[in-house]
A and B are shown apart, each in its own frame.
Chain A
Amino acid sequence: MPAPEPQPKTPRSGLMTLAIAGAALLAIAGGAAFYYASQHAAGQADTTDQFRVAVSATACEPNEITVPGGKRSFEIVNTSERPIEWEILDGVMVVAERENIAPGFKQTLTAQLRPGDYEITCGLLSNPRGILHVTESEEARTAASTVGLRNFLGPLSEYKVYLVQQGMAAVAASEELAAAIKAGNLPKAQELWVAARLPYKRVEPVAYRLSDLENAIDPVADYLEKREADPAFTGFHRLEYGLFLQETTEGLAPVADELVADMSELKSRLGKLKLDPALLMAIPGDMARQLSDGKIKAGEDHYAHTDLDDFAANFEGIAKITRLLQVVVEPVDPALEKEIETKLTAVETKLSELSGPEGYPSYESVDEAERASLSKAFQELADVLDRLDQVIGVS
């Protein structure tokens, strides 16, 4: 195993570190290749050569292969009497495959392999699988540390799907809320009010950037000149004011309809939103800081006191992105990935400690010390998320 490298702090020093470590690794890899060559038959060790695998009626030959990480070629020879397919499996996922190799024929398969252990299929499903060990190599490390746009395509598209799903859920939930209000069902409306906020809160980091909608959907009376009497007091908190403080659904129907319309607009804008890597990396940290800087201290659900439900949904949104980014961060800076996961878990733990048998308690019952402690957990998460941009600097 190569010695761990110091974490690169800037793109520049990162490059240097990589270059130096690379040179050292090359020497190690050279030595390893020589050792490997001396231990195995010629033709199986040189990285530029093909690794030959014969698949008989019952097994792969050899059944255990060791190759250095990077782009590797395999020559698969079907010595059985049936057509076969040959696959390299990482868990349940196929890393690479060749289908329909006729009896007596051979085919070549080339794959980019990251270090680790893989399984190889050997003909019939009932045949035992072989093992492919892929060892550390300079080539594999270079490939892993190169962060390009394509590394972000998976996380970006997955987050896009999330935005679309939450947008749809936000519309559906606000419609249900509006229906309960129009039916004059106060307890039902109160319950649905809490639920209707959740999809919105999950995508709030993005909704924040749509400031006109944000101002219609979620303004807090504190920031309006005439407070609750202000005509600009609309959206969720206006409904909350009626449902929880005045304890009536009267007069709320138009406000609820407006909320439904705004949610539909939000859904459509989320659907059209162009995401990019910088945005994806900035959102979770910004959101965590927003919570730690102000929201947690004061709260914003002044009449319902359901702030903890809001925070938990906010956190889900933060965690969603952060965990999607794992595939980008992990290969480049595994230490940072671990730290992020630790801080995420810390917030999760804090939130679940605050949760009672009936869900989250009224925010009024959460004292200053507990608020400070939750705030600190979010702040530490924000701090470690701020380092994400360094990861992208490495290349």
Chain B
Amino acid sequence: MNFTRHLRAGALAFALSTTALTGAMAQDASLDLVEPLAQYKIYVAENTAELVKDTEAFVKAIKDGDVEKAKELFAPTRTSYEAVEPIAELFSDLDVSIDARADDYEKGEEDPTFTGFHRLEYGLWEEGSTEGLDEYADQLMEDVKELNSRINELTFPPETVVGGAAALMEEVAATKISGEEDRYSRTDLWDFKANFDGAYKIFDLLKPVLEEKDSEEFLKTVQGNFDDVYEVLEEYETDEGGYVSYTKLSDEDRNLLSTKVNTLAEDLSTLRGKLGLG
């Protein structure tokens, strides 16, 4: 089928390269990005739908007063949230109420506005009880539902998606490697895996576009670094498909992860420029 024959003449005066681009490597944005961006949107929507489903079970366990069950569901429930973190800046309010750490609040754990996963984590592990958690569980449920419906209505800015992989790797390097995220449950490695998956998804979807731009060496390097971090994580996998406590991570592996994640952050930060979205 020839689609163009339906187009009115005169509609084609696009300013395809009028945006001032800086840097020798800068390229024009290409229509080839449409497919990866669409696929990424679908990936995110699938994850937030999964998050709603998993959160329902997690919340139910809390409200049933089943501490063991709730602890078991905590880490796997979080993975679909952590996988979409590259674009968390599109819903900063929900990111705060769903996933903020106690340090972000003046009174830490005692702060009444400290909510979300980590508030529940604190209750389940530090206090060993579901007591008083109902309202936080309800709030979490409401927040992830809101997230899911908002995602479906939202047009993702291409710059945010393409830049998201690097942004998340930077965050992992800057704050997560220290183990600050899941400090009560020590389930950090579950999050890492989901974070890597989320960032890798973006890279993977963009590969065909990057290939056309003659970045073979770049692709090989980034792929290699992802392979390396996945390899480290694999050593800490349990038979049930989960991960051991973060305290079991050797210093050597922690350093290796840190180095690799920093390199990934640096390399992935060139994606926007390479794809004309600088």
Chain A contacts to B: CB under 8 angstroms: 11, 82, 87, 89, 92-94, 97, 99-100, 124-127, 146-150, 153-158, 160-161, 164, 209-211, 274-279, 281-282, 286, 324, 327, 386, 388-389, 392-393, 395
**B212 nearest CB across to chain A (Å):** 15
Shortest distance in angstroms between A99's beta carbon and chain B's nearest beta carbon?
6
CB proximity of B264 to chain A, nearest CB, Å: 16
Tell me how far the C-beta of A316 lies from the nearest C-beta in chain B, rounded to whole angstroms. 14
Q: How far is the CB of B122 from chain A (nearest CB, A)?
A: 16
Establish whether residues A157 and B158, one from each chain, have CB atoms under 8 Å apart when the complex forms: yes
B37→A209 contact, CB < 8 A: no
In the complex, which of the residues A93, A276, A395 contacts B18, with contact meaning CB atoms closer than 8 Å? A395
Is there contact, CB below 8 Å, between B18 and A153?
A: no
| A156, B155: Cα distance in complex, Å | 10
B262 lies within 8 A of chain A by Cβ: no
Interface check B38, CB cutoff 8 A: yes
Question: Given known contacts A149-B31, A153-B29, A389-B8, is B89 in contact with A93 (CB within 8 Å)?
Answer: yes
B14 touches A147 (CB 8 A): yes
CB of B238 within 8 A of chain A? Answer: no
Q: Give the segment of B93-101, B135-143, B195-203 that binds chain A.
A: B93-101
Is there a chain A Cβ closer than 8 Å to B72's Cβ?
Answer: no
Tell me whether A279 and B158 are in contact in the complex, defined as CB-CB below 8 angstroms, given that A124-B106, A150-B277, A156-B34 are known contacts.
Answer: no
Q: Most chain-B Cβ atoms within 10 A of its Cβ — which of A92, A155, A209, A324?
A: A92
Q: List 12 A-B contacts (CB under 8 A).
A: A11-B13, A82-B103, A93-B91, A147-B14, A149-B14, A149-B28, A157-B41, A157-B158, A278-B11, A279-B3, A389-B8, A389-B11
Closest residue of chain B to A124 (Cβ to Cβ) is: B106
Considering the chains assembled together, what is the distance between the CA atoms of A153 and B96 in angstroms? 28
Q: Select which of A87, A126, A153, A164 is within 8 A of B111 by beta carbon.
A: A126
Q: Is residue B16 contacting chain A, with contact meaning CB distance below 8 A? A: yes
Contact (Cβ within 8 A) B31 A276: yes
Binds A, one of B54-62, B125-133, B168-176, B223-231: B168-176
Name the A residues within 8 Å of B91 (CB-CB): 92-93
- Chain B residue with the shortest CB-CB distance to A155: B155
In the assembled complex, how far is the CB of residue B32 from the closest CB belonging to chain A, in whole angstroms?
A: 9
Q: How far is the CA of A94 from the CA of B159 in the complex (A)?
A: 12
Contact of B156 among A92, A150, A157, A274 (CB under 8 A): A157
Looking at the complex, which one of B18, B155, B170 makes contact with A158 (CB distance below 8 Å)? B155
Docked CA distance A157–B34 (Å): 5
Rounded to whole Å, the gap between the CB of B82 and the closest CB of chain A is: 16
